[in-house]
Amino acid sequence: MAEILELLCPVCGRKYQLQEVVYTCPVCGEVGTLEVLYDYRALKAQLDRDALRNQQQYSMWRYKPLMPIMPDAIVPPLRVGFTPLYDAPRLAQTLGVRQAWVKDDGANPTGSLKDRASALVVARALEQGTEVVSTASTGNAAAALAGVAASVGMKVIIFVPAAAPEAKIAQLLVYGATVLLIEDTYDVAFDLCTQMCLSEGWYCRNTGMNPFTAEGKKTVSFEIAEQLAWNVPDVVLVSVGDGNIIAGVYKGFYDLYQLGWIERMPRLIGVQAEGSAALYHAWKNGICAQDMQPIDANTVADSISAGLPRDRAKALRAVRQTQGAFVTVSDREIIGAIPALARLTGVFAEPASAAVFAGAQAAVQSGLIATDETVLLLGTGNGLKDVRRAQESVTGGLRVAPTLDAVRQALQL
Ligand SMILES: *Cc1c(COP(=O)(O)O)cnc(C)c1O
Ligand SMILES: [Zn+2]
């Protein structure tokens, strides 16, 4: 085990031993999502960032010494992480910034960044001999858990609202998960899942409950730093629903900064859909996480639809601590961003993921990003996850009779 010092509650500041709590802060309740802190002094003495050059493991597990897992722990075989980071000069030019990159986490095995969290959660379940893992989700988190668990033959129970899109339910069933179609909302499914996990001893991956999801997701920041030779971008843009990804991105850079492996933290800009912007409003109005009230969330970008973001405390802290910001984008801008990003970079993103492109444009326009700065857009999910929205974003396709004349005519040659 990496030298874990304690679990920290970002709301009340209380610290717990790893054995003391399994999920959230016992005092704060569900808003108190815990964070894993390490003995950075000890790690600094043991680890050398330049030694990573000899590391042959090209997956998130190349950073195992910085993760809450034993050095000899068995990890799931699916290759999660070490996704491509692309230098994107035409994107930089379009945005009007000095340099821009895209980190394509849609290239993960089940098509989203959620695989990083699920891989660590399943590794911990294996370590503890837990036989069943469970989560509530409508989409990518459930697919990630089902896929990673299938790679080790672990039993998975998924709670989804019965109205969840058929394609997403199909992906779960293909992986062999037991899928409970709860005849109510995601929030009700979430609570049922939580209660069943507690009473049956299943290991619960629920976002904002399990302190290790962000620890898995933080590996994306380790990769960004290593792939850029430890010179981090000025700004990293992340789309935000529950806030667990941006919390993980923050934690990754925080770990590296504590170790002295990077010289500064990038500013984090969270991108929310206008119809699901609870964190944007809290940030703008100086409201703290405990005082946030649920809103009715409504956006085409289903993966960032969250009425009361589960990881709100850590998400607000990530933005405030780095002097970052939140921005909002409309559904129309999100849909338009799908082909825009794809044509500038070759990366095909689902709506929630493409939203960072629209967010970057808004941030440059409003002066949150200066023209001489460097920016990284985090691609969180693959475009093939939501083909229907992709179809809405484009027109074209020419019907042509099967003759050369017709082809030439269609191409106006
Ligand atoms: C889950 C998800 C997000 C948002 O992550 P949160 O932790 O809910 O903020 C963004 N994009 C994609 C593709 C996702 O699956
Ligand atoms: Zn607390």
Q: State the DSSP string of 122-182.
A: HHHHHHHT--EEEEE-SSHHHHHHHHHHHHHT-EEEEEEETTS-HHHHHHHHHTT-EEEEE
Residue from 102, 245, 308, 377 whose mutation best tests the ligand 1 pocket (most atoms within 8 A of CB): 245
As a dihedral over the C-alpha atoms of residue 197, residue 203, residue 207, residue 213, rounded to 10 degrees, the angle is 170
| Residue 387 lies in domain | 85-111+213-392
Q: Residue 21 is encoded by which pair of tokens?
A: 């709590």
- Residue 167: the pLDDT is 79
Identify which ligand lies nearest to the alpha carbon of 311: 1
The answer to the question of residue 120 being in a domain is no
Q: 360: domain CATH number?
A: 3.40.50.1100
The parts of the chain modelled with pLDDT lower than 50 are none
CB of 194 shorter than 6 A to ligand 1: no
- Residue 1: the pLDDT is 55
CB of 270 shorter than 6 A to ligand 1: no
The answer to the question of residue 106 being in a domain is yes
Identify which ligand lies nearest to the alpha carbon of 26: 2
Residue from 113, 305, 377 whose mutation best tests the ligand 1 pocket (most atoms within 8 A of CB): 113
C-beta separation of 194 from 203 below 8 A: no
The answer to the question of residue 327 being in a domain is yes
Strand order in the sheet with 325-329: 85-87, 99-104, 374-379, 235-239, 267-273, 325-329
The answer to the question of residue 136 being in a domain is no
Domain count, the chain: 1
**How far is ligand 1, taken at its centre, from the CA of residue 279, in Å?**
14
**How far is ligand 1, taken at its centre, from the CA of residue 240, in Å?**
6
Helix orientation angle between 312-321 and 244-259, rounded to the nearest 10 degrees? 50
- Residue 336: the pLDDT is 98
CB of 217 shorter than 6 A to ligand 1: no
The answer to the question of residue 267 being in a domain is yes
- Residue 2: the pLDDT is 60
Quick: pLDDT tens for 284-323: 999 999 999 999 999 999 889 999 999 999 999 999 999 9
Quick: pLDDT tens for 221-276: 999 999 999 999 999 999 999 999 999 999 999 999 999 999 999 999 999 999 99
- Residue 149: the pLDDT is 98
**How far is ligand 1, taken at its centre, from the CA of residue 318, in Å?**
15
The answer to the question of residue 62 being in a domain is no
The answer to the question of residue 374 being in a domain is yes
The answer to the question of residue 294 being in a domain is yes
CB of 242 shorter than 6 A to ligand 1: yes
Is the pTM here over 0.95, yes or no?
yes
